[in-house]
Structure 1
Amino acid sequence: MIALVGMPGGGKSTVGKQLARQIGVPFVDSDHEIELRIGGSIKQFFERHGEDAFRDLETEVIAELIARPGDRVLATGGGAVLRERNRELLHGGATVLYLRSTPEDLFRRLRHDTTRPLLQVRDPLAKLRELHQQRDPLYRRCAHYVLESARPSVHALVNMALMQLELAGLLDPTRVAATVGAEPLDAGLTGRRGPPAGAALTLGRMPATDTVRIRLPDDRNYEIRIGSGLLDEPASWQHLPKAATAVIVSNETVAPLYATRLRERLLAVYGRVDVVVLPDGEQHKDWDSLNRICDHLLGHALDRKTVLFALGGGVIGDMTGFAAAIYMRGVPFVQVPTTLLAQVDSSVGGKTAINHTLGKNMLGAFYQPARVIADLDTLDSLPDRELRAGLAEVIKYGPIADAGFLCWIEDNLDAMLARDKAVLGYAVRRSCEIKADVVGQDEREQGLRAILNFGHTIGHAIEAGLGYGAWLHGEAVACGMVLAADLSQRMGLMPAGFVERLRRLVERAGLPVQPPQLGAERYLSLMRVDKKAEAGEIRFVLIETIGRAGLHSVPDIHIVETLAAHGAA
């Protein structure tokens, strides 16, 4: 059995029904079962008999539902965890998922709902805050997994739940393909009752190939394929854009490792496959390298159906995408990321750009790939420093979108550093799930998508101030996240404990937490040309609660104080 717990309005019934349909088991709501038994509404029962009588009846119903043979998805009432007996029944007899929302999000959903007796008070928001403070520790104590439900869509929440159940060994992994916006699945339970010991902290094996889909307006959808051996798998290169010629763009480090293998696969699809090799490094993400791509395309008179393949890390992906966007006003391209940073972030979402001496990624376009092929085996050749830099972008997703994922990262960081393929595979998949959900809602960064830039305001300033290539992008972002967490505290959004928690995690990953000493004025001038700046005001992505972020204007005095506290002013 799978049981959902959480606050009123947290989405238990909505998510539970879809989850049950995808798994192929019945759905049951304990509140509905109670109403069937009493022959009336819970609100009326509350008014006549009081809360204690209701809680007694609730315990009876939960015990009966847990004892029934067969698998099902159970949505519980918001106050079910108040009784210790209920917590024992649920935790011991089911896999418990806690759908966690902030009181403010709950209030927005429930402010017009007159059917919930506990909210019929003068100040419902204050009541929700009181209930959340009381119940949140009890939900956590009862649950095996925590899913942040404040921001994601129902589809994303269901897919998050499916992933957790698969990792716990409760779903048959050969029948699960969790994809954002997917049609109902027939996943099937394995029959195990409750998760194995430690399942909330450990990872099973992911499917050989996994797929995440990005859903965009005008049916501009595409797949992100994740798995081992994808470079050599014929299915990876089926249903590509039709053309006479393909061009692989790579760099001097990656091309000798993988360009020949990729070219052999593409020759089965295209009559001609060229390879353009660029210098390696962030310092070469510039006009000269972009022109080398364009010179090849124009010099060989390639037409507007030519398909470009970006084989490499974030630099190659960004430049190839930008070239595809501007050549003949747009030709298709495919991302083949070979670094962790590119697989979890830069290859997904359609941001393409080159750097300018006055700012990072200042010249570019939003231009989506036709497909992303993330072969986990390419990470075997990644230097340790590059792997650690990629972990910065993985860590980012926890504070901004998924508190449960942040806990998972903390528990599985050593395994990622040891290059455990199953663990890295889940990190890539979950990161892509989060980014796909955000990009699907805000492709061109008009609002929500800005949260993906957590740590990037100071990070980009570090890269530009030191000279591109001195620090890896992930190293600069990691340090930027620590300082952005500090600013979140100074702005009254987060407690000091969160700042220390994030700093320890970044440090454990072997990433810098101390910014270079560029001086406060230099930092401020660099940050004022950041793309998020507006009317001269420097704006940061700050953490509002773990799993939720927002864009905030930050006074210079706070920035200077943070820089000084970290020895960089």
Structure 2
Amino acid sequence: MGSGKTTIGRQLAKRLGKRFVDSDHEIEARTGASIPLIFDIEGEASFRRREAEVIRDLSSQRDIVLATGGGAVLDAGTRARLAERGTVIYLRAHVNSILQRTAHDKNRPLLRTPDPRRTLELLTAQREPLYREVAHLIIDTGRPNVQSMVQTILEQLAALARKSAHASMHSLHATTPQPTSPFTLNVDLGERSYPIAIGPGLLDHADLVVRYVNGRQVAIVTNGTVAPLYLEKVAAPLRAAGRDVLEIILPDGEQYKTWESLMKIFDAMLAHKCDRKTTVVALGGGVIGDLAGFAAASYMRGVPFVQIPTTLLAQVDSSVGGKTGLNHPLGKNMIGAFYQPRAVLADTSTLATLPARELAAGLAEVIKHGAILDLAFFEWLEANMGALVARDPAALAHAIARSCEIKADVVRRDEREGGLRAVLNFGHTFGHAIEAGLGYGAWLHGEAVGCGMVMAADLSHRLGQIDSLQAARVKALVAAAGLPVSAPDLGTARWLELMEVDKKNEGGAIRFILLKPLGSPSIGPASDVDLLATLDACITR
């Protein structure tokens, strides 16, 4: 509900030369009663039976665009019928967006509750897996321009048609599965807006990277681990399209997120005579994305760049939002720039080659998004962490998409971390101290953040902002992901020294991102007594 199905459906039907039908309007026309009245008199179960009957009739017709009610997917027969008889497009909307769109709409019987937000969260948790089961295309609405959204749908429908034709022609000779259409999310930043495409086999779409490279030259920045796996897959279509491709391969590891590595990128681009229309492509994890993005922001005062994240951590966090930079011996990510990519292409198939430790590191950032901004998502993670650790494709796809939605919404509202965006650093004040104190690379970034979240939850409890059960839930989920929950003993003085060098601090005071309650963030200082108690409780001695 509230995703824009009727508005977008009408425009789509117009562009396709088809007739538009809304199942709710058809039910009202057949019964002579409004949807709320049917709910009041007959109840939801009776309404669902009417809905399934109407959709059964409508889905047998040709040349229509059908908008169904949000709960239509609850009927297994309806799901099967829709998937079999048409192309199903799921318009996904965040709970906040739905609340804004339905705030003054009295025609929503399921939202006539004291707490509409909680109702929507529960409905989303119930229906989301069913939407994904039946959908051929998943489109994130965000705050779209309707015409732009319709054009995106038309392009993806055309891509589906081409894929279907190709599969029919070559099915007897196919040696690899065809890539599925990606879930597309838009980061709405006005003229700096860009898409995030998420899905398996994206790198098998030969034209996907090419479409975001306008200039003649391309510099692909990657590392020695990723290059043998994916570099040629990215470079070959670019060369075939007539692009001049420069390959820059850096050492792999957080310890190489340095000024020296940045200079290697600049040296290679200058030696290759790259011009200001050169597109930088970041192919790798968060280190590569941050370095390549900073290089793109700085080279000739800014050239376009595209993110192709190959680790879970990069796909759910570091590739989204435009933070770029490098580490300094005195502080992590203290030197850099806000610089948005032209696109983020997250091929979830790359996670199959990811070491278990790297997968766990990425799950830390997934947990973070639920802990600070989406309790329903946090609860979903508690129920599905086993599937995520086992790399279940459907579970990973949902976790990545939801994490990107949460972060994209925060970035839209606070691109340059003037206030709200700071909450995305939950666990990072402690985590960055661990990384710097042990030496970059000793712990993975996600491992340090996971432990940092346990410490931040403990501190939140000591400040009376969450109860002991909520703090224990954070610790249990972090442990279930395979992440450390006990911090290293750096010495109290060293801990305080490292935490004082933090971008969130103001006037020399350490500012922490805390929970108040679980699922909601707060930002503020902590007393020395509480902070020292947390350090004492969480450090392994």
- TM-score higher than 0.5: yes
The code of the aligned residue for 1:181 comes to R
Q: Which residue of 1 aligns with 2:143?
A: 181
Are the counterparts in 1 of residues 3 and 141 from structure 2 also a CA contact under 8 Å?
A: no
Indicate whether 1:475 and 2:437 are aligned. Answer: no
Matches within 5 A, 1:87-486: 146=122, 161=124, 165=127, 167-169=129-131, 172-182=134-144, 183=146, 208-217=181-190, 219-486=191-458
State the 1:404 CA deviation.
1.4
Per-residue displacement from partner, 1:88-135 (whole Å, max 9, x unpaired)? xx999x99xxx989xxxx9xx99xx9x9xxxxxxxxxxxxxxx99xx7
Per-residue displacement from partner, 1:462-490 (whole Å, max 9, x unpaired)? 00011100000000000000111111112
The code of the aligned residue for 2:311 comes to T
Are the counterparts in 1 of residues 500 and 508 from structure 2 also a CA contact under 8 Å?
A: yes
Decide whether aligned partners of structure 1 residues 437 and 270 sit closer, same or farther in structure 2, where only a CA change above 3 A counts: farther
Equivalent-residue separation in structure 2 for 1:255 and 1:66 (angstroms): 52
Decide whether aligned partners of structure 1 residues 249 and 62 sit closer, same or farther in structure 2, where only a CA change above 3 A counts: closer
Equivalent-residue separation in structure 2 for 1:462 and 1:226 (angstroms): 31
Equivalent-residue separation in structure 2 for 1:451 and 1:284 (angstroms): 27
Decide whether aligned partners of structure 1 residues 175 and 558 sit closer, same or farther in structure 2, where only a CA change above 3 A counts: same
Are the counterparts in 1 of residues 95 and 120 from structure 2 also a CA contact under 8 Å?
A: no
Decide whether aligned partners of structure 1 residues 19 and 369 sit closer, same or farther in structure 2, where only a CA change above 3 A counts: same
Decide whether aligned partners of structure 1 residues 308 and 172 sit closer, same or farther in structure 2, where only a CA change above 3 A counts: same
Equivalent-residue separation in structure 2 for 1:61 and 1:419 (angstroms): 40
Equivalent-residue separation in structure 1 for 2:295 and 2:278 (angstroms): 12
State the 1:556 CA deviation.
2.4
Are the counterparts in 2 of residues 487 and 542 from structure 1 also a CA contact under 8 Å?
A: yes
State the 1:61 CA deviation.
6.5
Indicate whether 1:506 and 2:472 are aligned. Answer: no
Are the counterparts in 2 of residues 438 and 449 from structure 1 also a CA contact under 8 Å?
A: yes
The code of the aligned residue for 1:215 comes to D
State the 1:33 CA deviation.
5.8
Are the counterparts in 2 of residues 16 and 73 from structure 1 also a CA contact under 8 Å?
A: no
Matches within 5 A, 1:15-54: 16=2, 18=4, 24-26=22-24
Unaligned regions of 5+ residues in structure 2, if any? 10-21, 56-67, 80-93, 107-111, 155-178
**253-262 or 288-297, which moves further after superposition?**
253-262
Secondary structure of 2:410's aligned partner: helix
Indicate whether 1:521 and 2:483 are aligned. Answer: no
CA RMSD between the two structures: 3.6
State the 1:34 CA deviation.
10
Are the counterparts in 2 of residues 177 and 210 from structure 1 also a CA contact under 8 Å?
A: yes
**467-476 or 175-184, which moves further after superposition?**
175-184
Equivalent-residue separation in structure 2 for 1:416 and 1:343 (angstroms): 14
State the 1:409 CA deviation.
1.3
The code of the aligned residue for 1:212 comes to L
Q: Which residue of 2 aligns with 1:548?
A: 520
Matches within 5 A, 1:550-569: 550-567=522-539
The code of the aligned residue for 2:444 comes to L
The code of the aligned residue for 1:178 comes to D
Query: Which has a greater percent of helix?
Result: 2
Unaligned regions of 5+ residues in structure 1, if any? 1-14, 38-56, 76-89, 116-130, 148-160, 188-205
Are the counterparts in 1 of residues 137 and 181 from structure 2 also a CA contact under 8 Å?
A: no
Are the counterparts in 2 of residues 166 and 172 from structure 1 also a CA contact under 8 Å?
A: no
Are the counterparts in 1 of residues 369 and 406 from structure 2 also a CA contact under 8 Å?
A: yes
Equivalent-residue separation in structure 1 for 2:512 and 2:193 (angstroms): 30
Equivalent-residue separation in structure 2 for 1:296 and 1:304 (angstroms): 14
Decide whether aligned partners of structure 1 residues 561 and 332 sit closer, same or farther in structure 2, where only a CA change above 3 A counts: same
Equivalent-residue separation in structure 2 for 1:63 and 1:252 (angstroms): 58
Equivalent-residue separation in structure 1 for 2:276 and 2:204 (angstroms): 27
Q: Which residue of 2 aligns with 1:80?
A: none
Equivalent-residue separation in structure 2 for 1:548 and 1:20 (angstroms): 32
Secondary structure of 2:184's aligned partner: strand
TM-score, length-scaled by structure 2:
0.76
The code of the aligned residue for 2:135 comes to P
The code of the aligned residue for 1:331 comes to V
Decide whether aligned partners of structure 1 residues 165 and 329 sit closer, same or farther in structure 2, where only a CA change above 3 A counts: same
Q: Which residue of 2 aligns with 1:54?
A: none
Per-residue displacement from partner, 1:337-386 (whole Å, max 9, x unpaired)? 11000011001110001000000000000000111111111111111111
Equivalent-residue separation in structure 1 for 2:7 and 2:243 (angstroms): 45
TM-score, length-scaled by structure 1:
0.72
Equivalent-residue separation in structure 2 for 1:455 and 1:509 (angstroms): 15
